[in-house]
Amino acid sequence: MAQLRDLPVAVIGAGPIGLAAGANLAERGIEFHIYEAGASVGTNLLDWAHVKIFTTWEQSIDPVSVRFLEKSGWKMSNLSTLPTGGEIVERYLKPLAEVPELKPFIKTDARVTAISRAGIDKVSSKDRAAKPFRLRIADSSGNVYYEHARAVIDASGTWTNANPLGGSGLTVPGETENAAHIVYGMPDILGKLKERYAGRRSAVVGSGYSAINVLLDLARLPGNAKQITWVVRGTDLARIYGGGEADQLAARGALGMHLRQLVDQGEVNLVRGFSTEKVSSSGDGLVLHGETADGLVSVGPVDQIIAATGQRPDLHMTRELRLELDPSLESVKALGPMIDPNLHSCGTVPPHGYLELSHPEPNFFTVGVKSYGRAPTFCYLPVMSKPALSLPRSRVTLRQRSRFILCFRKLAFARQTPWQMKFAVENQRR
Ligand SMILES: Cc1cc2nc3c(=O)[nH]c(=O)nc-3n(C[C@H](O)[C@H](O)[C@H](O)COP(=O)(O)OP(=O)(O)OC[C@H]3O[C@@H](n4cnc5c(N)ncnc54)[C@H](O)[C@@H]3O)c2cc1C
């Protein structure tokens, strides 16, 4: 087998963060391979291609990737506008995947199904750091092969691993049986799925910005007035609607305010403090049953349920690795206190670098939205160009502060695109 130092770095996933990792490795002259499960780069974004995001182009692109793109004649205009998921793929990720520095090293239809270290399992410690990573990869025809790497950057996201309807985090009785009428995530309500939702009764479960977007889309369809029910576990209206005019991202704040108007006008029926326990189907549609402060309550009947209940990381792939995760968020452990959704939203998360993205497993890093685990607070923008020294003392411990400052000094500025990885990989090379 090749020497560890002669092997490439494996990047898992060709979303915005996996491609940024590739670009930053390329700029440093470090060999890499990007493995993408889907048929195209940005596969997960294509699933929500219709959604306008709430950060601008300028806040959502990686400077190193832009340098490569510009060398190939690419130009981005209107940097202050808000792109959709589809526009990010078509105007940024696909051109990026074509630049000569990246193109030969991206493999699509290559799903990484397991990662271990060559010749040893999770229990063995002897010479662990000197053993190459061994990746099991499958294509869509079922062919399986193995490749080796000296470091692994997991940028595989969480999008396809939706949380179930159950308020307790479990699939509820009736959820699987009625799957034909339940959609998870952000269906294309105003486009491809218009027929399915226009003039029908819908219940949306969940309280994040995905839920808010879904509700606003439903309300825009003809015949949907007073047909929409919004079911949330929480009771605090300020948290449910988000930051409003005080939101750090104006576009995001505006969404919450608009929805509040619809609820106040009775267009959307808001059911608060409802923890889903069961879905049943009556002759007239689906009924959600949930525990509330007043006991068991039923909501419905409705024709469709949309579960905008967030995502969680798929941890099967890394079963043979020594990971350290935050016990509640399943994020990288060090990030846990920095991204706690009880305290933070995208835009208030403090700067962090490769140290926070690492694990006890040497040279394995979790990056991008997966590094945040179940926390919905990930965005590209958060920590860009924000000096660590300006962190509010109340939010972080002194130990955390000194780690941020260390990262900040080392990297000039910290941002959660994973180019910080190059330092770790280079250190290992020495
Ligand atoms: C609706 C929505 C709106 C958002 N709006 C904003 C916003 O306004 N601003 C912002 O900054 N952020 C926003 N985000 C958050 C975040 O920026 C995005 O989720 C972003 O796509 C995360 O990029 P990523 O590369 O980490 O993961 P993803 O984009 O999810 O990419 C992961 C990639 O890995 C691939 N993959 C998965 N498993 C495997 C495997 N086993 N092997 C190989 N490949 C695999 C997937 O196919 C995918 O291509 C939004 C997210 C959503 C869902």
At 347, the pLDDT band (50, 70, 90 cuts) reads low
Q: Whose CA is nearest to atom 15 of ligand 1?
A: 379
- What phi, psi does 100 have (nearest 5°)? -60, -25
**Which tens digits make up the pLDDT trace of 215-274?**
999 999 988 878 999 999 988 877 777 666 556 666 667 888 888 889 999 999 999 999
At 207, the pLDDT band (50, 70, 90 cuts) reads confident
Ligand 1 mean position to 11 CA, how many Å? 14
53, 135, 331: which to mutate for ligand 1, most atoms within 8 A of CB? 53
The answer to whether 98 and 72 have CB atoms below 8 angstroms apart is yes
- What phi, psi does 231 have (nearest 5°)? -110, 120
**Which tens digits make up the pLDDT trace of 52-106?**
988 899 888 999 999 999 999 998 878 899 999 999 999 999 999 999 999 999 9
In this structure, what token pair is assigned to residue 411? Answer: 């990297």
The answer to whether 238 and 195 have CB atoms below 8 angstroms apart is no
Indicate if 179-307 has the same CATH topology as 4-160+311-429.
yes
**CATH level 3 topology of 4-160+311-429:** FAD/NAD(P)-binding domain (3.50.50)
- pLDDT for 430 equals 35
Ligand 1 mean position to 18 CA, how many Å? 9
CA 13 to ligand 1: nearest atom: 34
What ranges do the domains of the chain cover?
A: 4-160+311-429, 179-307
CA 381 to ligand 1: nearest atom: 11
Tell me the average pLDDT of the chain: 85
Ligand 1 mean position to 369 CA, how many Å? 6
Ligand 1 mean position to 126 CA, how many Å? 36
CA 382 to ligand 1: nearest atom: 11
32, 40, 45, 153: which to mutate for ligand 1, most atoms within 8 A of CB? 45
50, 379, 417: which to mutate for ligand 1, most atoms within 8 A of CB? 379
The answer to whether 377 and 249 have CB atoms below 8 angstroms apart is no
In this structure, what token pair is assigned to residue 235? Answer: 């009771």
Ligand 1 mean position to 25 CA, how many Å? 20
CA 380 to ligand 1: nearest atom: 11
- pLDDT for 410 equals 30
Q: How many helices (H) and strands (E) does the chain have?
A: 14, 16
Element (H, E) at 86: helix 85-88
- What phi, psi does 22 have (nearest 5°)? -60, -45
- pLDDT for 77 equals 78
Residues with CB under 6 A from ligand 1: 12-18, 35-38, 42-45, 48, 51, 53-55, 60, 111-112, 155-157, 159, 186, 210, 317, 368-369, 378-381
Query: What is the arithmetic mean of pLDDT over 188-209?
Result: 93
Is residue 118 over pLDDT 70?
yes
CA 367 to ligand 1: nearest atom: 26
Ligand 1 mean position to 61 CA, how many Å? 13
Q: 156 versus 72: which is more confidently predicted? A: 156
- What CATH number is given for 179-307 in this structure? 3.50.50.60
Ligand 1 mean position to 37 CA, how many Å? 13
- pLDDT for 1 equals 64
